[in-house]
A = this chain, B = another copy of it.
Amino acid sequence: MKVEVISTGTELLLGEIINTNFPYLAEELNRRGFDVLYETTVGDNPQRLKDVLEHAASRADLIITSGGLGPTRGDLTKELVAEYCGLDSYLDMEVWGRINDFFTTRKMCMVQNNEKQAMIPYGARILKNAIGTAPGLVIEQQGKLFILLPGPPVELKDMCEKQLFPFLSKKFADLGLIKSHTLKLRGVGESAVAESLDELIMHQTNPTLAIYARNGDILIRITAKAPSETEAEKLIFDKRQAVENLVGKYVYGYDDDTLPACLGRELIKQNKTVAFAESCTGGLTTSMMTDVPGSSAYIKGSVVTYSNESKHQLIGVKNSSLKKYGAVSREVACEMAEGVRQLMQTDFGVSITGIAGPGGGTRTKPVGLVFMAVADQDGVVWAEKHFNGGREQNKLRSALNAMGMVFDRLTGLNKNLEEK
């Protein structure tokens, strides 16, 4: 069952709002076994919208529109679909009554235009709108199914959950479903993963594998299509085994897992605490760690030591080290990690010191150079990284890298690290 979603609205084409309806529809429809193959965004222009509708009907079986059901002149979707399908419309008294109630209960005045929203093409199935005034519609014509949904996300979502999805599941009971599962990797590059999985990817049909890079993480998504949930899960399980045989050592989490959350779970499991001494990351690492609910179990506190004086005074970095090696150095990173561990009396002390940019770089210490260290009772491990994003990107990569080092230390991975 091929699907095209048409998002209407000039505000989308002006970039004024971000389209969240489409990812919602796409995820929900894919899950129910529909193949969402195209999405088209078009403005409130009758000729262009008509062309887009025609083109969609030529390549998809199910055409879902969002937007253009309002009371204004610019709302054209229903009228154009009716015209395309050659259907006349009537004033639906039930819909009209609901619109009247909507205004009455809110003590608002109705305007002439609202009558337009109660005009229904003959033969259309009505999807009630529990939140706003525009009803949704299902129109079947020459083997194609047109589904018209309102634009406001809360209305669209409510209508989908309560009316559209139950209707579709009943009508297309034999479609099967698609399930996907994501592995999250760190400490490895996209192309190295692609090479490791090349054999698996080359001969794939179902499930399929896809590799993405996102914020320093590598994501591997396994997608299976099957008649039932159990069968899809079995397919995914087998493929996941094959993937983990090849790159399992880089996997730190799955699906909605984040590195701060995985690290937090591991800290709780091993009953350990952590404190950060942040220089170039300016508090970002601790902020990300504390985005995880319940993180107070393992975060006692952190320091942002942005100046040399604060590095010395708060966490005891030697003035001689600052002078001899500079604040951005392996030596200072190691002293910071041990210093914050002592100050906060935690199991791990973690430091990050580097040049986030855009200024402050030199020939020997360029922008993007970052030293990180993790101290525990056994000593200090450190790492040197060269990032080349903008300031905020460098901060983010540094923060994730530092968390990764603690994660590796806890789980015994110790990738990309050298012992001091």
Contact = CB atoms under 8 A, between A and B. Distances in A.
Interface of A: 10-20, 22-28, 30, 36-45, 48, 51-52, 55, 59, 70-74, 102, 105-114, 130-131, 152, 154, 158, 180, 189-192, 194-195, 201-202, 210-214, 221, 223, 276, 278, 281-287, 289-291, 293-296, 299-307, 309-310, 314, 343-344, 356-359, 386, 388-393, 395
Nearest to A109: B192
Given A14-B30, A25-B15, A154-B389, A310 B301 contact: yes
B282 A291 contact: yes
A263 to B, nearest CB: 14
B283 A71 contact: no
Counting from the closest, the 7 A-B pairs by CB-CB distance are A282-B290, A283-B283, A15-B27, A15-B26, A301-B310, A283-B286, A39-B41
Number of copies: 2
Contact of A40 (B40, B113, B221): B40
19 contacts: A13-B38, A14-B26, A15-B24, A15-B36, A18-B19, A40-B41, A72-B190, A72-B194, A73-B202, A108-B189, A111-B195, A282-B283, A283-B304, A286-B304, A293-B391, A296-B307, A301-B305, A303-B304, A314-B343
Contact of A14 (B27, B71, B114): B27
A393 B130 CA distance: 13
Contact of A70 (B30, B48, B190, B214): B190
Contacts of A395: 287, 290-291
A190 B221 CA distance: 41
Nearest to A132: B213
Nearest to A112: B195
Given A38-B41, A72-B211, A301-B304, A283 B287 contact: yes
Contact of A37 (B39, B42, B110, B202): B42
B71 A386 contact: no
A360 to B, nearest CB: 8
A285 B40 CA distance: 37
Contact of A36 (B13, B70, B72, B113): B13
B13 A17 contact: no
A152 B212 CA distance: 10
Contact of A309 (B110, B194, B300): B300
B358 A293 contact: yes
A379 to B, nearest CB: 23
A287 B113 CA distance: 37
A186 to B, nearest CB: 14
B17 A18 contact: no
Contact of A300 (B113, B307, B393): B307
B16 A19 contact: no
A39 B40 contact: yes
Nearest to A23: B15
A279 to B, nearest CB: 9
B282 A299 contact: yes
Nearest to A157: B390
